[in-house]
Chains A and B, each alone.
Chain A
């Protein structure tokens, strides 16, 4: 199974809402990633989890809160978002955090903040 799944596929939320994005992989990968992609732009790294510990936070605002409950799951908790946070949120995983291993991406969650 070389699949990374993400739920939900689409999410519409108001600026006062709290919601969560979920990502799951069963490949035994020990590194997991969150990316943000605005329309017609390349993906931008947000967070890296290495062996279930947060190892990189690319200066992401605190209204985005990642969580890695176990080695297969990665969540992104959203609170008090702004309309400019509307984007495609991509999750990825790789066998090891080291640079040699390719990343497997999920299909993404398309988020709209109203």
Chain B
């Protein structure tokens, strides 16, 4: 699986959009970009994933660049409950068991 690079920390004002970048310059054509987050003392939570096209669900939007070398997770209206560590993972999607390899992630602090 391709390595991902994220900033170690970010702040975001409550109610504003939080844009979390991820670099995955060595991603291969059959690797998806997944985002998980981990709120303090809880298990990680799946947020969203995508391959080429931008994706949106009830939690967030995922914007993937055309060359697929980077992506941005967007939380449109951040709340205090969005304070967490956000992990970007590049993952081969194929038959058989697979492994989530968590990097260091970005610690997002939402500030009142």
Contact = CB atoms under 8 A, between A and B. Distances in A.
Given A42-B104, A42-B105, A99-B92, A48 B99 contact: yes
Given A31-B97, A50-B97, A105-B45, A99 B32 contact: yes
A15 interface: no
Given A4-B43, A92-B43, A98 B96 contact: yes
Given A107-B42, A108-B43, A98 B94 contact: yes
Interface string A17-36: 00000000000000101000
Contacts of B99: 45, 48, 56, 58
Contact of B96 (A58, A92, A97): A97
A99 B1 CA distance: 11
Interface in B59-112: 85, 87, 91-105
Contacts of A108: 41-43
Contact of A50 (B41, B96, B103): B96
Contact of B46 (A50, A98, A104): A104
A103 B46 CA distance: 7
A55 B96 contact: yes
Given A4-B43, A43-B102, A106-B43, A97 B97 contact: yes
A81 interface: no
A48 B97 contact: yes
Interface string A98-114: 11101111111000000
Nearest to B30: A99
Among A45, A90, A105, the most chain B Cβ lie within 10 Å of the Cβ of A105
